[in-house]
């Protein structure tokens, strides 16, 4: 195994963690999955004409979008569960906060992007943190953002409220707290392509299995017709498409 030169996590652990994430990754789609929520052929027709793309190209884009939506959740798994390897009291519990260190009284909620929480979700997280510091006067609660608007470790100002022990922290600063290395997150990002290359070589993955076109053409060799029959085959007039 090559040396990924991370220092804060072993080569074996980062390889296995990336491998677990890749194995979760969705890399196939069929017509049933494609049409699970009933595809909108009218929107796809607009997309095709407005963007100057064939229906086949637009369908390919929609397939990728659906697969990507699923895989975004697995990236959350990657970010959160990497801290299982941190040691020194760091834990990834199955309920409650996403990442904790009871010895240091640090309790963190992890979000991928700084702008993905709606007001209801933000309110719930902030109140959860308020409750924690109310019952543990040593607790420090952190909203950790992988993609933050800037590098920071500062009070979380929410709806006119703030508390020194409720923090908004970018992932680079959180890595520094956890691993004691200011450049730990940078090192991970720099090494990630090499780790992925090695994992994909072992798993022999690296392509998407897409049977949507083949199954559409079994309905009709006319892509336009088969796409509309997916959604409207029971509607008046479409029996004579």
The pTM for the full model equals 0.84
Asked if the model's pLDDT at residue 50 lies above 80, the reply is yes
Asked if the model's pLDDT at residue 47 lies above 70, the reply is yes
What's the confidence (pLDDT) of residue 38?
87
User: For the chain, how many residues are written?
Assistant: 241
What's the confidence (pLDDT) of residue 218?
85
What's the confidence (pLDDT) of residue 143?
96
Asked if the model's pLDDT at residue 219 lies above 70, the reply is yes
Task: Give 83-115 pLDDT, tens digit per residue.
Answer: 999 999 999 999 999 999 999 999 999 998 766
| Contact present, 66 and 29 (Cβ < 8 Å) | yes
Average pLDDT over residues 50-56: 93
What's the confidence (pLDDT) of residue 115?
65
pLDDT, mean over the chain: 92
Average pLDDT over residues 5-30: 93
Structure tokens at 27: 């890399």
Asked if the model's pLDDT at residue 187 lies above 90, the reply is yes
What's the confidence (pLDDT) of residue 117?
75
Domain ranges of the chain: 11-82+195-240, 90-179
Least Cα distance to 222 among 50, 49, 46, 54 occurs for 54
Average pLDDT over residues 121-126: 92
Which residues, other chains included, contact 87 with Cβ-Cβ below 8 Å and sequence gap of 6+? none
């Amino acid at each position: 195994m090559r040396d990924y030169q991370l220092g804060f996590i072993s080569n074996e652990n980062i390889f296995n963690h990336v491998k677990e994430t890749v194995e979760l990754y969705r890399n196939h789609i069929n017509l049933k999955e494609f049409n699970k929520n009933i595809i909108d052929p009218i929107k796809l027709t607009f997309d095709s004409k407005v963007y100057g793309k064939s229906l086949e190209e637009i369908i390919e884009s929609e397939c990728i979008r659906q697969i990507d939506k699923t895989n975004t959740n697995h990236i959350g798994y990657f970010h959160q569960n990497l801290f299982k390897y941190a040691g020194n009291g760091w834990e990834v519990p199955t309920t409650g906060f996403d990442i904790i260190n009871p010895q240091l009284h640090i309790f963190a909620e992890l979000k991928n992007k700084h702008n993905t929480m709606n007001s209801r979700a933000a309110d719930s997280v902030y109140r959860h943190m308020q409750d924690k510091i109310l019952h543990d006067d040593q607790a420090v609660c952190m909203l950790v953002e992988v993609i933050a608007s800037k590098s920071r470790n500062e009070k979380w100002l929410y709806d006119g409220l703030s508390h020194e022990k409720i923090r908004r922290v970018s992932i680079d600063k959180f890595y520094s707290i956890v691993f004691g290395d200011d450049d730990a997150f940078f090192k991970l990002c720099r090494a990630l392509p090499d780790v992925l290359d090695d994992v994909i070589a072992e798993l022999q993955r690296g392509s998407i299995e897409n049977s949507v076109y083949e199954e559409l053409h079994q309905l009709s060799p006319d892509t336009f017709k088969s796409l509309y029959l997916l959604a409207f085959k029971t509607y008046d007039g479409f029996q004579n498409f």
